[in-house]
A and B are shown apart, each in its own frame.
Chain A
Amino acid sequence: MKSLIARGVRSTAPRHPLARAIIHRLLLAVILLWGVSLLIFAAVNALPGDFAAASLGRAATPEAIASIRQSLGLDKPLVTRYLLWMLQIFKGDFGLSWASQQPVSAQLGHRLLNSLWLAGAAALLAIPVALLGGLFAVRYLHRLPDRVITLVSLIILSLPEFLIGYLLIQVLVLHVGVSTFPSTIYDGMSLPDRLSALLLPVLTLAIAVLANMLRSARSALMSVTSTPWMETARLKGLPPLRILWRHAAPNAISPVLTVIAMNLAGLIVGAMIIEVIFVYPGVGQYMVDAVTVRDIPVVQACGLVFAAVYILLNLLVDMLAMAANPRLRFPR
């Protein structure tokens, strides 16, 4: 299939290369999502023991198991069950939580928004710092500032999120008193309260992802500043600001997108852990609680939502990169 597309691109000059590339990339994302749904469905249905028996726990009499099996549709063949499950999900119905007997979707939407706030704010904080740090490192490449930045990011990379979080609690809550712990968020909260609750988790996540971001920013920017045309711009005596603005910045868009793309996984995983540390009501905390009590419908839903968010964000970044860099529009 790959070679077919490549041949198509080469022989008949495509009229809409961007549209073609976007469709190609969209298809890939759809296939991935489908694969993930299969994977999660398979994992849950390969459960040693029975879904029904597991949901009942100690109250599992044969009659109760039979009636649960029927109400959950477990007596139907596997393929039918998968299709029914997918159909429900497309309707926005993730089933009932075993623990609370409440619909999962009611909790999920709310918490997803909270999680995205956390990850988004942390990214907004960390990305500019990482880029500035990366620029600084590249400007003094292989000299002391660069070595210090590299060493510091290696050290931060080695810290578990909870150590960063607890150090911040120690400083900001116990000594300075600017923030609150735990970071409970609820509707109708006043803005200053909300900000003070968000400060710790956002700052922790930003620091946790900063290390890896610095590393990727450094190598991405290195590839821009070491190009011949940057050399030319410098040699013909252009003012540094003009070089930065007219020559480096437009070409740095795709490295910057690369930095974001390479750190999406870190942001999402980091957010999950940090929600647990700060008792922040996001999807990550929901999922971890559900795994602890083996609330399978919630685990399934959270896993699927996290995977979907991750795949869609990756898709978005790739699309932006294609728009910024024409070379990427031709799939190899």
Chain B
Amino acid sequence: MKSLFSSVSAVTGAFLLILFVFASLAAPWIAPYDARQISGEIWQPMSAAHWLGTDNLGRDLFSRLLSGARLTLSFAFVISVMATLAGTLLSFLAVSVGGAVEGILSRLNDLFMSLPSLIIALVALAVLPQTNSTLIVVLAAIGATRVYRLGYSLASHILATDYMEAAKLAGESHAYRVIREMLPNARFPLLAEWGMQFSASILFISTLSFIGLGIQPPAADWGAIVRENKDGILFGVSAAFYPAIAISLLVIAVNLLVDALSRKLQQQEDQ
């Protein structure tokens, strides 16, 4: 029962994720229309000409979703990779160097983690120039604080193990011990954390674009497409639902995979 549930959900997650990644990679070849070109009346329902209907300006919604997928996936990917790398690097540095470096980094991290992430993001976005790189750096920095906390606890545990002591006594260098001993032993929990960062980044960037503070027009990720079409909902137009459902399916897929991975990790630990 247990293995059935987890394997079915893991396979579903993997299938959906591969589908989305494939669609975004192949977007220029699959898209029936130019995503920026007006190709019909506004807010048309589903039809053979427009599979998902048209949007608030009469553009083909399916083509827009495909080009939006590229933005959402690539932004979330870059943000989550940067967050995981930065968080891991800084936490391992803090633990292995210790002293004042550890104190300053950890207290600063406590300060950032004592605030809800959206508030940090909003203050930062209000004062920094409104560019895509600002968006990526701010969200990656917020994600890195979470990774730091995990990396810190992993590294502290590993530092106290016998094999770390042995490496130290064998006269191995500082860098060797961190890269060849610490990192490999922390890789699976960090991998699971990267997955969580990925799904959290998808939701975060979509939410920011939805409230108008994320990716700026004319570029439109899924969150921005929801924003463009949200006024249609009161007239019974479901254009805003498709990108919103796409976001949810993508996040569900990633979460199912992460869940399966961390359950596997738990089992390994129990054995």
Nearest-CB distance from B202 to chain A (Å)? 9
Task: Report A279-305 CB contacts with B as 1/0, cut-off 8 Å.
Answer: 000000001101110101001101100
Are the CB atoms of A147 and B111 closer together than 8 Å?
no
Whether, in the assembled complex, B233 has its beta carbon less than 8 Å from a beta carbon of chain A, the answer is yes
Whether A43 touches B127, Cβ cut-off 8 Å, given contacts A306-B116, A307-B115, is yes
Whether, in the assembled complex, B29 has its beta carbon less than 8 Å from a beta carbon of chain A, the answer is no
Q: Name the prevailing secondary structure of the A interface residues.
A: helix
Of the 9-residue stretches A44-52, A82-90, A318-326, which lies at the interface with chain B?
A44-52
Are the CB atoms of A43 and B123 closer together than 8 Å?
yes
Are the CB atoms of A294 and B2 closer together than 8 Å?
no
Whether, in the assembled complex, A265 has its beta carbon less than 8 Å from a beta carbon of chain B, the answer is yes
Whether, in the assembled complex, B95 has its beta carbon less than 8 Å from a beta carbon of chain A, the answer is no
Contacts of A35 in B (CB 8 A): 111, 114
Are the CB atoms of A32 and B252 closer together than 8 Å?
no
Residue in A closest to B250 when the chains form the complex, CB atoms: A158
8 Å CB contact of A147 from B5, B117, B118, B245: B5
Q: A303 to B233, alpha carbons, bound, how many Å?
A: 31
Are the CB atoms of A162 and B123 closer together than 8 Å?
no
Q: A269 to B119, alpha carbons, bound, how many Å?
A: 8
Task: Report A13-49 CB contacts with B as 1/0, cut-off 8 Å.
Answer: 0000000000000000000100110011001101110
Q: A303 to B116, alpha carbons, bound, how many Å?
A: 10
Whether A291 touches B255, Cβ cut-off 8 Å, given contacts A151-B9, A158-B248, A303-B123, is no
Whether, in the assembled complex, A170 has its beta carbon less than 8 Å from a beta carbon of chain B, the answer is yes
Q: A12 to B238, alpha carbons, bound, how many Å?
A: 68
Q: A149 to B55, alpha carbons, bound, how many Å?
A: 36
Whether A269 touches B211, Cβ cut-off 8 Å, given contacts A46-B127, A158-B252, A294-B126, is no
8 Å CB contact of B116 from A166, A269, A299: A269
Are the CB atoms of B248 and A291 closer together than 8 Å?
no
Whether, in the assembled complex, A317 has its beta carbon less than 8 Å from a beta carbon of chain B, the answer is no
Are the CB atoms of B233 and A169 closer together than 8 Å?
yes
Most central of A39, A158, A181 by chain B CB within 10 Å: A158
Most central of B115, B127, B234 by chain A CB within 10 Å: B127
Contacts of B178 in A (CB 8 A): none
Are the CB atoms of A269 and B118 closer together than 8 Å?
yes
8 Å CB contact of B122 from A32, A142, A174, A291: A291
Whether, in the assembled complex, A273 has its beta carbon less than 8 Å from a beta carbon of chain B, the answer is yes
Whether, in the assembled complex, B125 has its beta carbon less than 8 Å from a beta carbon of chain A, the answer is yes
8 Å CB contact of B207 from A154, A273, A294: A273
Whether A160 touches B203, Cβ cut-off 8 Å, given contacts A169-B233, A269-B117, is yes
Residues of B within 8 A of A (CB): 1-2, 5, 9, 111, 114-119, 122-129, 199, 203, 206-207, 210-213, 223, 226, 230, 233-234, 236, 240-241, 244-245, 247-248, 251-252, 255-256, 259
Task: List 15 A-B residue pairs with CB atoms under 8 Å apart, sorted by A's residue number.
Answer: A36-B114, A48-B128, A151-B5, A154-B252, A155-B252, A174-B234, A265-B116, A268-B116, A268-B119, A269-B116, A269-B117, A290-B126, A300-B123, A310-B115, A314-B114
Known: A162-B210, A163-B241, A163-B244. 16 other contacts (CB 8 A): A46-B127, A147-B5, A154-B259, A160-B223, A162-B226, A162-B230, A173-B234, A174-B236, A265-B116, A269-B117, A273-B118, A276-B211, A287-B122, A288-B122, A291-B126, A310-B119
